[in-house]
Structure 1
Amino acid sequence: MISYLIIDDEHIAHDIIKGYCDLLPNMQLMKNCYDALEAFDYLSKNKVDLIFLDLNMPVLKGFEFLKILQNPPKVIVTTAYQEFALEGYEYNISDYLLKPFGFERFLKAVNKAIGSVNQKVVTNEKSEGSNRIFVQSNKKHIQLETENILYIEATGNYTKIITTTETITIREKFSTFLEQLPKNDFVQVHKSFAVAPKQINSIEGNIIFISNYQIPIGKMFKINILKLLR
């Protein structure tokens, strides 16, 4: 379960963010905070995994709040002011959402943040686990464990995700989706294919065999295969 906090002085912003989060599994709202001081008091006694943070708030601005916050959780900034984007990344925020934002853009931001949260949990507990991401297919939002992905394939403006149990097609560019996946767990082997190395059964010539599938190796990506074989 991903616990989160909304910090924004506008009630409608709370409604939009909570409405989007309610569409996703495993997202739990802990508190609605309407200024940074209220959030600071809550976080001094409680922990959350993720904060949705507005910047232009009374008394204490968003970045000023981050400066005084010790060991902050993952942060997704939500603001109408694009000019603060570069400054925001100095605070190692997960993503920067410019209001008004739609659900698809919101989903990408949550994917990035949740991936980081899950990895942190795995590292701290020193136990096995996997990153999880949300994908949208046929108006349905599906949560995937990335360790179950065999490979991904570009098909125009769509991407096919082939897992151990099913094939899912999403309306997202191959390169964009590949960026959301854990970098060390997937390798691009062709302009239209990326594979999970741990799923490879064998490599013969310019063909990778994974389960019952055959994936071509592109000339420009042979160096990636050589690195795997070392």
Structure 2
Amino acid sequence: MIRYIIIDDEHIAHGIIKRYCDLLPNMKLMKNCYDALEAFEYLSKNEVELIFLDLNMPKLKGFDFLRTLPHPPKVIVTTAYSEFALEGYELNIIDYLLKPFSFERFLKAMNKTIGTSPKEKNFVTATNTTNSTSKSVFLRQNKKYIQISVDDIQYIEAAGNYAKVITIAETITIREKISEILVLLSDDDFLQVHKSFAVARKHIKSIEGNRISIGDAIVPIGKMYKIKVMELLK
């Protein structure tokens, strides 16, 4: 469950963010805060995994508030001002959403949030055990958003303007490039082995010649990627 708060002085913004969050599983709104001081008081007594933070607020500006937190949770900035983006990334925010933002853009920010490094504090969904560090991502297939466990992904295959994400249970076809999908995934867990294929290291059964056996499939190894694959055998 991802517990979150919204910090924004506009009621309309609260409604939009909550409506988007309600479309995703395992999201729980803990509090609506209409200025940073109200949020500071709440966070002094409660923990959350995620903050949606506006910047131009009365009493205390968004980034000034963020600097007061000794151990801030994940932060997604939602603002109408693009000129503060660089400052935001220097403060290690997850993403910077310019109002008005679409659900698709919001979803990309959430994928970045859920897909952060396991070395950091991970979000635990309701389907995971207490000690699990399993991550999940949302993928759009047609008009439906599907949440899948990263651990279940066997390999990814390019298919023209689309990509196929092959999991243990199903194949999901999305309108994304392999490179865009790999941004959401850990380099330690996934390896591109061909211009049209990337594989999950944990699901590799065998490597023979220029072929990788993974699940029920055989994935080719491209000449440009041979060295990376060979490093797995050292």
Same fold by TM-score greater than 0.5 = yes
What residue identity is the alignment partner of 1:20?
Answer: Y
Q: Is 1:221–2:225 an aligned residue pair?
A: yes
Asked whether the 8 Å contact 1:76–1:94 carries over to 2, the reply is yes
Percent of aligned pairs with the same residue?
A: 67
Report the alpha carbon displacement of residue 117 of structure 1 after superposing the two structures with TM.
Answer: 8.1
More helix by share: 1
Partner of 2:150: 146
SS of equivalent to 1:182: coil
Deviations 1:130-153 (A, max 9, x none): 111111112111111101000001
- Structure 1 counterpart of 2:197: 193
Distance in 2, matches of 1:173 and 1:17, equals 27
SS in 2 for 1:58: coil
**Aligned-pair distance for 1:127?**
3.8
Q: Structure 1 residue 169 and structure 2 residue 173: aligned?
A: yes
The answer on 1:156 being equivalent to 2:160 is: yes
Instruction: Give the TM-score taking structure 1 as reference length.
Output: 0.95
Out of 207, 211, 215, the residue aligned to residue 207 of structure 1 is 211
Counterpart residue type for residue 149 of structure 2: E
- Letter of the 1:225 counterpart: V
Is the contact made by 2:191 and 2:198 (CA closer than 8 Å) also made in structure 1?
yes
- How does 1:2-13 map onto structure 2 within 5 Å? 2-13=2-13
Aligned partners of 1:157 and 1:174 also within 8 Å: no
Listed as ranges, the gaps of 5+ residues in structure 1 are: none
AA aligned to 2:58 is: P
Using the alignment, how far apart are the partners of 2:118 and 2:203 within structure 1? 21
**Structure 2 CA distance for partners of 1:118 and 1:221, relative to 1, 3 Å:** closer
Quote how far apart the aligned CAs of 1:217 are: 0.6
* Residue in 2 that maps onto 1:44: 44
Tell me the C-alpha RMSD between the 2 structures. 1.9
Quote the Cα distance in structure 2 between the aligned partners of 1:174 and 1:157: 10
* Aligned-partner SS, 1:180: coil
Q: 2-side partners of 1:129 and 1:12: how far apart?
A: 35
Q: Partner of 2:169: helix, strand, or coil?
A: coil
Distance 2:135 2:119 in 1: 7
Checking the alignment, whether the CA contact within 8 Å between 2:178 and 2:198 is kept in structure 1 is no
TM-score using structure 2 length? 0.93
Tell me how far apart the structure 2 counterparts of residues 176 and 40 of structure 1 sit (CA, whole Å): 35
- Pairing 1:1-230 to 2, within 5 Å after superposition: 1-116=1-116, 120-121=120-121, 127-230=131-234
Structure 1 runs of 4+ with >4 Å offset = none
Residue 120 of structure 1, CA deviation: 3.7
Instruction: Give the AA of the match of 2:25.
Output: P
What code does the residue aligned with 1:135 have?
Answer: L
Structure 2 CA distance for partners of 1:149 and 1:84, relative to 1, 3 Å: same
1: distance between equivalents of 2:224 and 2:117?
34
TM-superposition CA deviations, 1:42-93 (whole Å, max 9, x none): 0011000000001111110000001111211000011111110000011111
Provide the rounded CA distance (Å) in 2 between the counterparts of 1:38 and 1:127.
32
